[in-house]
């Protein structure tokens, strides 16, 4: 099960920002329930209201590193493995980088970051994965850090972020634990206050971080459900009544479709390519055993007329009396005999394979 929040109502002069907590079945990809708020008590009350045997069917719960959700799982889901979402774990380090950059920027220039400031110009490069940096981006990073980071605090936070990402580069939980402990040691010995605060958060969530390597689960499906919820909210031009909001979400995201495949409404008339053998084959066609082998028309071939379709939409219809045509003319005059067309000439063109169109 995945647990995450979305914004129900934005902050206005009339009310505070209101969140809604959604519970998602990660295996089936459906929304189980939506409750108003995002506190530990609300989640614990909702779990306590489930049937007696319902908690036993939950083995893994993925959440963001939010204490309210972890505390709300107790006591109903004390037996489950709680997984901290990897994206939000790395996001903690990215936020620490932004805080260090802003503080250093203000101390160096006396104002907020603006275009032309060294650290402001690399704010997105600092959040980019190291392996995705181009040669030009690395030059910009080195130049900006040399000019705007005199105490190497931004560099230390960037290195801590990259070392934290290495935790998810290994699959074995034991090896991941060794890398994570090295990151904790690096942050604890740093003089950057933001990194020391990051160290405390990572230490409290150490077991949940490593549970990702044991289960392989994340909050990816929950975030996909959040995206669908936001689309439904935009389509409804917003909601002010939570009950209407909840019912709309459950109707769109909480049901599994069980519709049957629709039957084709296309008629079963024979393709035009099946008519060509009436005029171009050396033998009378047998509709019961298709396909027929088309042969090039020759002047000695005799026309076949009054051919009836044996079955299908055109059953019982009689084909018109048409003589084989020459590629030179589309329709001949009535004086020259029966009407002729260029259809068979097209049938016998290389690459048509008797399609007739």
Q: Are residues 74 and 99 in the same domain?
A: no
User: Average model confidence (pLDDT) for the chain?
Assistant: 80
- On whether the CB atoms of residues 338 and 323 are closer than 8 A, the answer is yes
- Of 107, 209, 112, nearest to 154 by C-alpha is 107
Residue 10 belongs to a domain: yes
247-293 pLDDT, tens digit each: 999 998 887 655 556 666 555 555 544 444 444 444 444 444 444 44
- Is 163 part of a structural domain of the chain? yes
| Per-residue three-class SS string for 81-123 | EEEECHHHHHHHHHHHHHHHHHHHHHHHHCCCCCCCCHHHHCC
Structure-model confidence comparison of residues 295 and 143, the more confident one: 143
- Asked if 49 and 122 sit in the same domain, the reply is no
Residues 80 and 108 in one domain: no
Q: What is the mean pLDDT of residues 169-185?
A: 95
- Asked whether residue 305 is assigned to any structural domain, the reply reads yes
Q: What is the pLDDT of residues 10-46, one digit of tens each?
A: 988 888 999 999 999 999 989 999 999 999 999 999 9
Question: Does 213 map to a domain?
Answer: no
Same domain, 48 and 107: no
Q: Looking at the structure, do residues 77 and 140 belong to the same domain, yes or no?
A: no
How many domains, the chain?
Answer: 3
Whether the pLDDT of residue 324 is over 80: the answer is no
Question: Do residue 198 and residue 92 come from a single domain?
Answer: yes
Cβ-count burial of 89 within 10 angstroms (0-12 exposed, 13-18 middle, 19+ buried)? buried
- Do 155 and 70 have their domain in common? no
Q: Judge whether residue 298 has pLDDT over 80.
A: no
Q: Which domain holds residue 306?
A: 270-357
| Bond preceding residue 191 cis, omega within 30 of 0 | no
168 in any annotated domain:
yes
Q: What's the confidence (pLDDT) of residue 53?
A: 92
């Amino acid at each position: 099960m995945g647990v995450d929040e979305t914004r129900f109502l934005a902050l206005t002069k009339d009310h505070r920002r209101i969140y809604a907590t959604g519970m998602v079945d990660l295996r089936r990809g459906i929304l189980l329930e939506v409750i108003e708020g995002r506190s530990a008590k609300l989640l614990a009350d909702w779990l306590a209201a489930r049937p007696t045997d319902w908690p036993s069917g939950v083995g893994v719960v993925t959440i963001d590193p939010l204490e309210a959700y972890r505390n709300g799982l107790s006591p109903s889901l004390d037996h489950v493995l709680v997984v901290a979402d990897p994206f939000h774990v790395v996001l903690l380090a990215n936020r620490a980088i932004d805080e260090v950059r802003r503080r250093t920027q203000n101390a160096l220039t006396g104002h907020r970051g603006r275009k032309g400031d060294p650290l402001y110009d690399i704010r997105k490069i600092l959040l980019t994965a190291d392996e995705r940096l181009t040669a030009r981006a690395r030059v910009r990073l080195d130049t900006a850090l040399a000019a705007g980071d005199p105490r190497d605090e931004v560099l230390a936070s960037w290195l801590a972020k990259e070392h934290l990402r290495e935790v998810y580069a290994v699959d074995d939980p034991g090896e991941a634990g060794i890398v994570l402990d090295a990151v904790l040691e690096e942050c604890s010995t740093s003089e950057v206050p933001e990194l020391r605060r990051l160290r405390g958060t990572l230490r409290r969530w150490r077991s949940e971080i490593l549970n990702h390597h044991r289960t392989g689960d994340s909050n990816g499906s929950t975030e996909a459900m959040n995206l669908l919820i936001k689309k439904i909210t935009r389509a409804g031009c917003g909601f002010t009544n939570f009950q209407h909001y909840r019912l709309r979400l459950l109707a769109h995201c909480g049901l599994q479709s069980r519709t049957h495949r629709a039957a084709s409404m296309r008629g079963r008339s024979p393709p035009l390519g099946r008519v060509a053998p009436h005029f171009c084959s050396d033998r009378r066609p047998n509709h019961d055993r298709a396909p027929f082998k088309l042969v090039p028309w020759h002047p000695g071939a005799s026309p076949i007329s009054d051919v009836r379709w044996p079955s299908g939409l055109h059953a019982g219809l009689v084909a018109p009396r048409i003589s084989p045509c020459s590629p030179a003319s589309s329709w001949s005059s009535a004086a020259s005999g029966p009407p002729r067309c260029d259809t068979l000439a097209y049938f016998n063109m290389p690459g048509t394979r008797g399609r007739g169109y």
